[in-house]
Amino acid sequence: MIQIMSSAFHGLFHDGSTNLLAKGETLFHSGEPVRSLYLVIDGQVDLIRHSESGTRMVLFRAGPGRILAEASAYSKTYHCDSTAAQPSRLLSVPVTVFRDRLDSDIGLASAWAERLAHALQTARLNAEIRTLRTVAERLDAWQAGHKPLPPKGQWQDLAQTLGVTREALYRELSKRRR
């Protein structure tokens, strides 16, 4: 279902401008006015927030077919930074065009509402996981949400999602393999 919805949203960007980002390049910063919405075509772009103590938190990783910072469609400013985790290609459309296209297609608007509801559920689960005290509890909760472990090369991404150091996650995974 998510793949079908993602394909449906491609039409919202059919005449969009192409944006190319090098690894580490920032697309927008927290507090900047929302002028456009973005669809990731290739690569990966992270939504990042920094805590008052300077801790870097990856809130979301947008890969191919994902719309970046979808809640920004209804906001005056971005609420996080957006940085390319790898070289990326995106399409962008003005936020007003995006909303007008949704408003003119009830089926697409309904699919969009469903997409936002799923994103909210995921955000709530991730917030709940981060309240757990141990790495083992966080990993158990992650897997209880029917999420498989990512491939070995992406474990550090999971560590960021769980809010633990990669070393702590590696130790926990090592214990479970014994």
Domain segments of the chain: what residues? 2-106
pLDDT of residue 146: 67
pLDDT of residue 10: 86
- Residue 127 makes CB contacts below 8 A (sequence gap 6+) with none
Sign of CA dihedral 126, 127, 130, 136: negative
Is this model's pTM higher than 0.85 or not?
no
pLDDT of residue 6: 53
pLDDT of residue 7: 67
- Residue 49 makes CB contacts below 8 A (sequence gap 6+) with 30, 57, 59, 79, 80, 81
Segments of the chain scoring below 70 in pLDDT = 1-7, 146
Domain 2-106 sits in which CATH superfamily?
A: Jelly Rolls (2.60.120.10)
Burial 96-105 (b: 16+ CB within 10 A, else e): ebbbebbeee
Beta bridge partners of 62: 45
